[in-house]
């Protein structure tokens, strides 16, 4: 029976797939489409034919894809006009955006892995897809192989998401994990990551949090049925994280992770808002995200009815990312065969993004203070003046230096503004010799 089903499916007119880009992800997509031809046909009900692959330069060896040379072209504009499904894995804003819009105009559905473009101009693309009655799918744009956007957009469509906490950048997780496990400093860990292929020659987009911020915008839009774009996301990278920050975290039984955080919060006027931010944070070692090692990704989601969920897996790489792309290809192909469209953009809730200053977070501070009576009182007073309440405080006298002590403070949740002002004021106190670590605390 399965043989018949396969056979029948193969007889049907194939769906035409155009591949834009044949790099790390594109080459895997091509190869898997060729190798899995019979399975795709059986799963969809019609076979998939790769009708062309657009690249920047012809003449490179593309034999690993299993596709004949004549399918490769530099004329992407023409290619998208003769496809039912366009897979965009070029990356960047242009020409990716124009090609996607052009594909819609010619009636093609689009699958993309392009987080930068979606975070910058998602709403325009969703609208264009809708206007032309075609699909736009982008599971691979966040957290690579991990099924995450479909669960948020569909499985949790009957629930209300409270928080999304994600490790969505493999490079920075690799760097922070090495700093934690070896005691290395930032620069050294980055070099090692580069040597092993986990970080690019210019690691800025990763270590400064741009990549994670684009993903945070996509996640927040889906989780909160609102429009969030990259410029709405508060962003701090990990280049200022020191070996001593990581050690301080370890002393608190915490690890430092670069997190993409999307949270529903109360606004000062009582309404609902969302905080969307990317920054390094301490999380307790007992938190499910703490054990995410090396370049793996994981996303923790808390929803009103579902409770705490976690999704874990490889966040990048050719084949893992292609897995997500191909899941989307099957979905849009099934719509071609059976009718219907995937869920449209849902932005009805239209929640405002809170400015970082109004976002409520917790802080960890480690201070070098003079070891004399009254120091704690002065420090505590500065907190109280800004309405920040202290959750935990610990003072240790340095073994080798009886005149100074270390004061470690963890606050309750307060606005980032109040916390920032408190830290500045404390740094100026006479009794404070220096502020050795300041970091936000998440995950409780």
- Chain positions contacting ligand NAP, by CB under 6 A: 20-26, 54-57, 76, 89-91, 95, 113-115, 140, 144, 316-317, 321
Angle at 223 between CA 221 and CA 226, to 5 degrees: 35
- Using CB under 8 A as the binding rule, whether residue 284 contacts a second copy is answered as no
CB of 44 to a second copy, least distance (A): 9
For a second copy, which stretch binds (CB under 8 A), given 67-75, 242-250, 302-310, 426-434?
Answer: 302-310
Binding partner of residue 55 among a second copy, ligand NAP, none, CB under 5 to 8 Å per kind? ligand NAP
- Using CB under 8 A as the binding rule, whether residue 319 contacts a second copy is answered as yes
* N-term to C-term CA, the chain: 53
Please say which residue, 74 or 244, places its beta carbon nearer to ligand NAP. Answer: 74
CB of 357 to ligand NAP, least distance (A): 31
Residues 6+ apart with CB under 8 A from 338: 45
Query: Quick count: other Cβ atoms within 10 Å of Cβ 393?
Result: 15
CB of 144 to ligand NAP, least distance (A): 5
Please say which residue, 168 or 290, places its beta carbon nearer to ligand NAP. Answer: 168
Please say which residue, 115 or 153, places its beta carbon nearer to ligand NAP. Answer: 115
Q: Which long-range contacts (CB under 8 A, 24 or more apart) does 3-10 make?
A: 5/42, 6/38, 6/41, 6/42, 9/41, 9/42, 9/44, 9/45, 9/46, 9/47, 10/38, 10/41, 10/47
Listed residue (150, 142, 137) closest to 119, CA to CA: 142
257 counts as catalytic: no
Judge whether 387 is annotated as a binding position: no
Q: Considering only residues 343, 352, 387, 434, which one is a binding residue for a second copy as defined by CB under 8 A?
A: 343
Indicate the pairing of strand 234-235 with strand 136-137: unpaired
Please say which residue, 167 or 367, places its beta carbon nearer to ligand NAP. Answer: 167
Q: How far is it, in rounded angstroms, from Cα 436 to Cα 398?
A: 14
Find the catalytic residue in 6, 178, 215, 257. 215
Query: Quick count: other Cβ atoms within 10 Å of Cβ 76?
Result: 25
Binding partner of residue 377 among a second copy, ligand NAP, none, CB under 5 to 8 Å per kind? none
Find out whether 332 and 111 touch, Cβ atoms under 8 Å. yes
Strand order in the sheet with 109-112: 72-73, 48-54, 15-20, 85-88, 109-112, 136-137
Site string for a second copy, 6-45 (x = CB under 8 A): x---------------------x---x---x--xx-xx--
- Using CB under 8 A as the binding rule, whether residue 110 contacts a second copy is answered as no
- Using CB under 8 A as the binding rule, whether residue 270 contacts a second copy is answered as no
Q: Considering only residues 66, 185, 284, 313, which one is a binding residue for a second copy as defined by CB under 8 A?
A: 313
Please say which residue, 284 or 317, places its beta carbon nearer to a second copy. Answer: 317
Enumerate the H helices of 132-259 as residue ranges: 149-150, 170-182, 186-195, 204-207, 210-224, 243-251
Q: How far is it, in rounded angstroms, from Cα 408 to Cα 398?
A: 13
- Bond from prior residue into 28 cis (ω within 30 degrees of 0): no
Q: Considering only residues 70, 348, 374, 428, which one is a binding residue for a second copy as defined by CB under 8 A?
A: 348
Judge whether 374 is annotated as a binding position: no
- Strand, helix or coil for residue 422: helix
Binding partner of residue 139 among ligand NAP, a second copy, none, CB under 5 to 8 Å per kind? a second copy
Judge whether 200 is annotated as a binding position: yes
Please say which residue, 55 or 409, places its beta carbon nearer to ligand NAP. Answer: 55
Site string for a second copy, 155-194 (x = CB under 8 A): xxxxxx----------------------------------
Listed residue (427, 362, 420) closest to 390, CA to CA: 362
DSSP one-letter code for 146:
S
Please say which residue, 62 or 362, places its beta carbon nearer to ligand NAP. Answer: 62
Quick one: how many helices (H) and strands (E) in the chain? 15, 17
Query: Quick count: other Cβ atoms within 10 Å of Cβ 108?
Result: 24
Q: Which positions are catalytic?
A: 215
Residues annotated in a binding site: 20-27, 115, 200
Binding site per annotation, positions for NADP(+)? 20-27
Where do contacts with a second copy occur on this chain (CB under 8 A)?
1-2, 5-6, 28, 32, 36, 39-40, 42-43, 139, 145-147, 150-151, 154-160, 225, 288, 291, 303-314, 317, 319-320, 322-331, 334-335, 338-341, 343-344, 346-350
């Amino acid at each position: 029976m399965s043989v018949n089903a396969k056979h029948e499916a193969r007889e049907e007119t194939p769906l035409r797939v155009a591949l834009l880009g044949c790099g790390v992800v594109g080459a895997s997509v091509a190869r898997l489409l060729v190798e899995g031809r019979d399975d795709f046909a059986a799963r969809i009900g019609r076979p998939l034919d790769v009708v062309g692959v657009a690249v920047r330069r012809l003449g490179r060896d593309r034999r690993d894809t299993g596709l004949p040379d004549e399918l490769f072209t530099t004329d992407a504009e023409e290619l998208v006009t003769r496809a039912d499904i366009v897979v965009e894995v070029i990356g960047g804003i242009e020409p990716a955006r124009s090609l996607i819009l052009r594909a819609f105009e010619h009636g093609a559905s689009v699958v993309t892995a392009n987080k930068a473009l979606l975070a910058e101009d998602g709403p325009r693309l969703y609208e264009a897809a809708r206007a032309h009655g075609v699909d736009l799918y982008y599971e691979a744009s966040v957290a690579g192989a991990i099924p995450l956007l479909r669960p948020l957009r569909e499985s949790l469509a009957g629930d209300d998401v409270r928080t999304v906490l994600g490790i969505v950048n493999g490079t920075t997780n690799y760097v922070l994990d090495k700093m934690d496990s070896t005691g290395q400093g930032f620069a050294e860990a980055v070099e090692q990551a580069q040597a092993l292929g986990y970080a690019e020659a210019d690691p800025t987009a990763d270590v400064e949090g741009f990549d994670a911020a684009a993903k945070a915008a996509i996640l927040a839009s889906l989780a909160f049925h609102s429009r969030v774009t990259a410029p709405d996301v508060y962003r701090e990278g990990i280049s200022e994280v020191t070996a001593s920050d990581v050690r301080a975290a370890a002393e608190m039984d915490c690890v430092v992770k670069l997190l993409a955080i999307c949270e529903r919060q109360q606004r000062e006027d009582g309404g609902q808002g969302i905080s969307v931010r990317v920054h390094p944070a301490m999380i307790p070692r007992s938190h499910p995200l703490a054990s995410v090692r090396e370049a793996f990704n994981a996303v923790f989601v808390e929803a009103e009815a579902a409770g705490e969920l976690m999704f874990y897996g490889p966040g990048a790489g050719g084949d893992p990312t292609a897995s997500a792309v191909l899941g989307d290809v099957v979905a849009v192909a099934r719509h071609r065969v059976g009718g219907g469209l995937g869920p449209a953009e849902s932005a009805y809730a239209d929640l405002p993004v809170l400015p970082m200053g109004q976002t409520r977070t917790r802080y960890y501070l480690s201070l070098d203070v003079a070891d004399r009576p009254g120091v704690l009182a002065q420090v505590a007073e500065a907190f109280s003046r800004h309405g920040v309440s202290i959750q935990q405080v610990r003072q240790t006298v340095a073994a080798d230096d009886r005149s100074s002590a270390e004061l470690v403070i963890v606050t309750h949740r307060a606005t980032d503004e109040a916390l920032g002002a408190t830290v500045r004021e404390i740094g100026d106190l006479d009794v404070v010799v220096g502020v050795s670590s300041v970091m936000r605390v998440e995950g409780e």
